[in-house]
A and B are shown apart, each in its own frame.
Chain A
């Protein structure tokens, strides 16, 4: 079938093995294979760089290359060329590893049957071609879907903008008085505009999930704030439907390690759903507490007195595009993407989501969020042996906006920039920049734990201030910056004391400093 001979590169330093291979090929039809034989990895890399090789037969023990590294180097030199590794009888485990690195196949020296080699070669090439093709098609499809959805959502948002603008112009009586009936109908249009907008947003979010582009930025944050925000946001919708919406939580909930906007997004989706599926006169309640079964997590519960979900559905409702269809009274429910997105968001933050429900008595949605642990951040650096005499300082960088932030987006962007600057000014091996904390008023906080002397802390503070002044992008925003540091009272580790107790004491000291600074600023 093939007119040109197949170009086979043999990289093998054992002359006997090469002779055997040549013999095997000699039995094939003349002109079907052409062998090039090289002894060293370095030569092979140069040869592959020139192109024209169809397949590589690779020995994994060469004078200038050994083990999996040889496979990696061949792939780097010629990414599109399939590789078969040649291995000894006792090296099968290594060969299996090589397959994971992308080798198409392996052959055990001394066990290659006569006609098996050319066949293995042809199969490897064919398999490789098919794989490449499938990958290519998949990438193409993903890209197309991505572009298409992004285009569609853009095209949907433009007319939606005009509809929103003019409905609100009418509702605000900017174009004359309205009678009650007209007002009511326009409210219906507006409600549908909002619904459409949230569907477009969900669609885009799902595309991001599938493209692996969903961003989750973990920080030390409060779940209570997210719950209060959600209840306030959806109180109107609940009241309009005659449903009581309430929150109930311990006043001393520990902070969590999560993305605050994502936690809000999950809560909004769950509470919004609960309101949708609960009849007038019902109740929706949001609760949060430390998870009894796993005290490293907070448990958040959204319960309703709605129509419930039958037990066989409780897994499926988190699936992509799944919708409960047989409940007449709830009316339209959108695309059913909210729970799917929520599950993705919860999982990405290290938690779990599930539902327990009985039809007709209501549903309880649960999700968990990891509790923030300062110890896990500072522990490793404390375990490390330090220069004696160095003390631990808590460095606080506060960035505020003189005029107040223009929008949450601008604030986030500036906060990213600032964080990067602080990180660059710290020493990577001894200092730890703690995750972002919830802001206090107009202030963004960055805390770092620094192992140093008084002089060292001052040097770092000055460096941060200088870098801020020099940052082009931060200049127009008219920001204020304060850098301060304070040393912990020396905590000496008593020999008899366990490392854990020592770390606990230091962490408590650091936590105390952070709390004090945040409290001072909030007054």
Chain B
């Protein structure tokens, strides 16, 4: 089975690297964009299977990125998962209406992030194993 490609759009280099290591360990191919503008260019060039999108970005925030993805015929079907530090109450509604598949609040537990990614990509869920360091659901 060929590796799925995930585009990570986040302006924080530490978060990008952290996600990169985590996703690579789970056998995904990872590409990056650091702002709104370049994320569209990267998406067009690589046609990723999934976009993990931050909301607060320079050069066009996450909402405008989603708008532009949806407006582009060849990109409109790429699923988007929003992963943001912004307040869930104020932003989740808007993100889902803009076409995001899910809104995850930073810091998101690894198990939750991976489970949502697998579901969005249509991959079978991993057998549940005891979670050693889940962030819990507080």
Contact = CB atoms under 8 A, between A and B. Distances in A.
Given A160-B107, A171-B132, A194-B135, A406 B89 contact: no
Contacts of B87: 150, 153-154, 204
Contact of A158 (B12, B96, B132): B12
A279 B15 CA distance: 38
A208 B138 contact: no
Given A169-B21, A208-B89, A233-B136, A407 B107 contact: no
Contacts of B67: none
A406 B116 contact: yes
A105 to B, nearest CB: 42
A103 B45 CA distance: 66
Interface in A159-176: 159-162, 164-166, 168-169, 171-172, 174-175
B107 A165 contact: yes
Contacts of A162: 12, 14-15, 18
Contacts of B97: 473
A201 B138 contact: yes
Contacts of A168: 22, 110, 133
B133 A190 contact: yes
B44 interface: no
Given A165-B22, A171-B132, A403-B119, A197 B138 contact: yes
A215 interface: yes
A271 to B, nearest CB: 12
A60 interface: no
Interface residues of A, number: 40
Contact of B93 (A172, A174, A407, A413): A413
Contact of B104 (A175, A268, A407): A407
Interface string B96-138: 1101011111111010100010011010000000001101111
A158 B15 CA distance: 8
A476 B14 contact: no
Interface string A483-512: 000000000000000000000000000000
Interface in A163-214: 164-166, 168-169, 171-172, 174-175, 187, 190, 193-194, 197-198, 201, 204, 208, 213
Contacts of B96: 409-410, 413, 473
Given A160-B107, A208-B89, A407 B133 contact: no
A187 B132 CA distance: 10
A151 to B, nearest CB: 10
A403 B87 CA distance: 27
B136 A194 contact: yes
A157 interface: yes
Nearest to B13: A162
Contacts of A169: 18, 21-22
Nearest to A166: B18
Chain A contact residues: over half helix, strand or loop, or mixed?
helix
A437 to B, nearest CB: 22
B46 interface: no
A364 to B, nearest CB: 24
Contact of B137 (A172, A193, A233): A233
B78 interface: no
Nearest to B125: A404
A409 B101 contact: no
Contacts of A410: 96, 101-103
A397 to B, nearest CB: 21
A78 to B, nearest CB: 34
B92 interface: yes
* Residue picked from A213, A407, A473, most chain B C-beta under 10 Å: A407
A55 B133 CA distance: 66
B1 interface: no
Contacts of A159: 14
A108 B49 CA distance: 77
6 contacts: A165-B14, A171-B132, A174-B21, A208-B89, A215-B89, A409-B88
Interface of B: 12, 14-15, 18-19, 21-22, 25, 56, 85-90, 92-93, 96-97, 99, 101-108, 110, 112, 116, 119-120, 122, 132-133, 135-138
Q: Lowest 3 A-B CB distances belong to which pairs?
A: A165-B18, A157-B85, A162-B14
Interface of A: 150, 153-154, 157-162, 164-166, 168-169, 171-172, 174-175, 187, 190, 193-194, 197-198, 201, 204, 208, 213, 215, 233, 268, 403-404, 406-407, 409-410, 413, 473, 476
Given A197-B107, A409-B88, 7 more contacts: A150-B87, A157-B105, A161-B15, A165-B107, A171-B132, A403-B122, A409-B103
